[in-house]
């Protein structure tokens, strides 16, 4: 397509379809990779799309920049952290625009503030609040494709704000929603979402289609392929997402990676009626037990209130049956919050009133996820039996409509994942 063709479609109704193509760090890891990615963009442009390319920093670059900040001051000012770490994406956006121009694709780079993509005030972990597409729309109508620095926006203080690690997925989905793109393709170093991590289970299979809700559970339960918030946004704005490989010449319009879409749009017959679509796991868990807590109204609030105030997310919770007016209460937090959670609870000992505290970070969480669970009775029972057969003790359980999670000793994680993957017919041979 030439820019003249694009100029010939001025009104919104006759506008060319739009596509968001997001390239992660490996996909823009060096100039050769950037050129390979740019050729994919050129192919989609050729098909008639107005393309918004969202780029991450070159692989390893954000870690390097974060390292500089920490080396200067471990208790750094979050605004200056953002100034430094957002720079990685600025570099790749310019390099990508230059490479596209070299290939004959008219393109211009955009930083978050230029769009503007407005965020909350939380530097280092800002949320996207508003994307004004007027300037982008105008440039698209002039025939210019957009290369947008992911991971960054502009905060209410008029300063650069970043969206948290992995945030360029979220940038891509939010921009796809704002631009009403037909699809958001996420190019990465794996060729899709798998039934579990193939490094743990060699029989893991690529999932061709998965519902937003399932992907959201998998992402938040430990699957690392997409940032959880990006899936949340895709679900809220109904943006079809495709995860696909950056290697080779194929592009998203031709190849099937994993399509994440609304349940009603799943075309695969929700596979032979399987209950479970995937098995997720996480080592990033720690367990805290309060022994002999008074079993009176308000105790849970006294335990979890101070944690919430310090932004510590509590995940699984169990409370034993009370005997003689006392109970034991167990909950889990992420290992990142573990030390802080312990000291907060210790500090609140007087108000909470418990006898003693036990804690253990040598644990892992195993989860099975699937919308098929809604129509399959006995899924939980089957999971517990499979683990029992392997001699794996379950320490804590939590469930939702489409997932069951259990906490086990860390040393049983691999065994548990493999056994569940097989028992729920996810192994490649049984597909």
Q: Looking at 153-161, 163-171, 214-222, 326-334, which segment touches Mg ion (CB under 5 A)? A: 163-171
Looking at the Cβ atoms of 68 and 374, the one nearer to ligand ASP is 68
Give SS3 for 151: coil
Scanning 25-133, the segments in alpha helix (DSSP H) are 31-46, 61-72, 78-85, 87-102
Cα 36–Cα 210–Cα 235 angle in degrees, nearest 5: 90
Nearer Cβ to Mg ion, position 25 or 278?
25
Which is closer to Mg ion, CB of 171 or CB of 418?
171
* Residue with Cβ nearer ligand ASP (106 or 164): 164
Q: Which of residues 357-386 bind ligand ASP (CB under 6 A)?
A: none
Q: Which stretch binds ligand ASP (CB under 6 A): 56-64, 231-239, 275-283, 370-378?
A: 56-64
Closest distance of CB 24 from Mg ion, Å: 5
Strand segments (E) across 201-277: 209-211, 241-245, 258-261
Select from 93, 168, 230, 327 the one that contacts ligand ASP (CB under 6 A): 168
Instruction: Quickly count: other Cβ atoms within 10 Å of residue 319's Cβ.
Output: 16
Contact status, residue 140 vs residue 6, Cβ threshold 8 Å: yes
Which helix (H) or strand (E) segment is 152 a member of?
strand 152-154
Cβ nearer to ligand ASP, comparing 60 with 378: 60
* Number of residues near Mg ion (by CB under 5 A): 2
**Residue among 150, 153, 166, 222 that touches Mg ion (CB under 5 A):** 166
Give the separation between CA 366 and CA 397, rounded to whole angstroms.
10
How far is it, in rounded angstroms, from Cα 431 to Cα 428? 5
Q: Which is nearer to Mg ion, 26 or 332 (CB)?
A: 26
Q: Token digits for 340?
A: 């802080």
Structure tokens at 370: 């699937």
Query: How far, in Å, CA of 374 to CA of 148, rounded?
Result: 40
Helices (H), 264-376: 299-309, 335-347, 349-352
Q: Which two tokens stand for residue 251?
A: 């592009």
- Binding residue (CB under 6 A) for ligand ASP from 6, 18, 21, 25: 25
Binding track over 116-155 against ligand ASP, x by CB under 6 A? ----------------------------------xx----
Cβ 86 to ligand ASP shortest distance, Å: 9
Q: Taking the CA atoms of 265, 270, 276 and 282 in sequence, report the sign of the dihedral they define.
A: negative
Q: Is 56 in the site for ligand ASP (CB under 6 A)?
A: yes
Which x/- pattern over 290-329 shows residues binding Mg ion (rule: CB under 5 A)?
----------------------------------------
- Write down the residue that tokens 């105790």 correspond to: 299
Give 211 or 243: the residue with its C-beta nearer to Mg ion: 243
Is position 165 an interface residue for ligand ASP (rule: CB under 6 A)?
Answer: yes
SS3 135: helix
57 binds, among Mg ion, ligand ASP, none (CB under 5 to 8 A by kind): ligand ASP
Which does residue 405 touch among ligand ASP, Mg ion, none (CB within 5 to 8 A, set by kind)? none
The conformation of residue 191, written as its DSSP 8-state character, comes to S
CA atoms within 13 A on the CB side of 351: 13
CA–CA distance from 30 to each of 57, 58, 360, 424 (Å)?
10, 7, 42, 41
Interface positions, 82-101, toward ligand ASP (CB under 6 A): 88
Candidates 96-104, 140-148, 166-174, 192-200: pick the segment binding ligand ASP (CB under 6 A): 166-174
Minimum gap (Å) between residue 126 Cβ and Mg ion: 17
Q: Which is nearer to Mg ion, 24 or 143 (CB)?
A: 24
- Return residues touching Mg ion (CB under 5 A): 24, 166
**For binding to ligand ASP (CB under 6 A), which residues are involved?**
24-25, 56-57, 62, 88, 150-151, 165-169
């Amino acid at each position: 397509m030439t820019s003249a063709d694009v100029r010939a479609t001025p009104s919104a109704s006759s506008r060319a379809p739009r596509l968001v193509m997001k390239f992660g760090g490996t996909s823009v890891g060096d100039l050769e990779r950037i050129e390979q990615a740019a050729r994919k963009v050129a192919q989609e442009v050729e098909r008639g799309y107005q393309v918004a390319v969202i780029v991450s920093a070159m692989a390893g670059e954000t870690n390097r920049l974060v390292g500089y900040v920490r080396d200067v001051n471990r208790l750094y000012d979050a605004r200056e952290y953002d100034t430094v770490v957002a720079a990685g994406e600025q570099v790749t956006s310019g390099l990508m625009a230059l490479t596209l121009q070299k290939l004959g694709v008219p393109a211009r780079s955009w930083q978050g503030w230029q769009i503007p993509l407005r965020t909350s005030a939380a530097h280092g972990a800002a949320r996207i609040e508003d994307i004004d597409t007027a300037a982008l729309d105008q440039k698209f109508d002039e025939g210019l494709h957009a290369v947008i620095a992911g991971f960054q926006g502009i905060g209410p203080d008029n300063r650069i704000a970043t969206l948290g690690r992995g945030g360029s997925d979220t940038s891509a989905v939010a921009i796809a929603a704002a631009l009403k793109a037909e699809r958001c393709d996420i190019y990465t170093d794996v060729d899709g979402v798998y039934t579990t991590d193939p490094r743990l289970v060699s029989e893991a299979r690529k999932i061709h289609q998965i519902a937003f809700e399932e992907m959201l559970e998998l992402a938040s339960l430990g699957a690392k392929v997409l940032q959880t918030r990006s899936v949340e946004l895709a679900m809220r704005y109904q943006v079809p997402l495709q995860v696909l490989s950056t290697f080779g010449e194929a592009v998203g319009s031709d190849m099937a990676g994993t399509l994440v879409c609304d349940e009603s749009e799943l075309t695969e017959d929700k596979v032979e009626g399987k209950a479970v679509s995937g098995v997720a796991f996480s080592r990033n868990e720690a367990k805290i037990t309060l022994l002999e807590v008074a079993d009176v109204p308000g105790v849970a609030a006294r335990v979890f209130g101070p944690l919430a105030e310090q932004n510590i997310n509590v995940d699984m919770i169990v409370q034993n049956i009370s005997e003689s007016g006392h109970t034991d209460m167990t909950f889990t937090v992420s290992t990142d919050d573990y030390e802080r959670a312990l000291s907060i609870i210790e500090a609140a000992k007087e108000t909470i009133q418990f006898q003693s505290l036990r804690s253990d970070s040598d644990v892992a969480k195993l989860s099975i996820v699937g919308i098929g669970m809604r129509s399959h009775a006995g899924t939980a029972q089957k999971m517990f039996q499979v683990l029992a057969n392997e001699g794996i003790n379950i320490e804590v359980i939590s469930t939702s409509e489409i997932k069951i999670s259990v906490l086990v000793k860390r040393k049983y994680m691999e065994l548990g994942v493999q056994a569940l993957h097989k028992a729920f017919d996810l192994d490649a041979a049984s597909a």
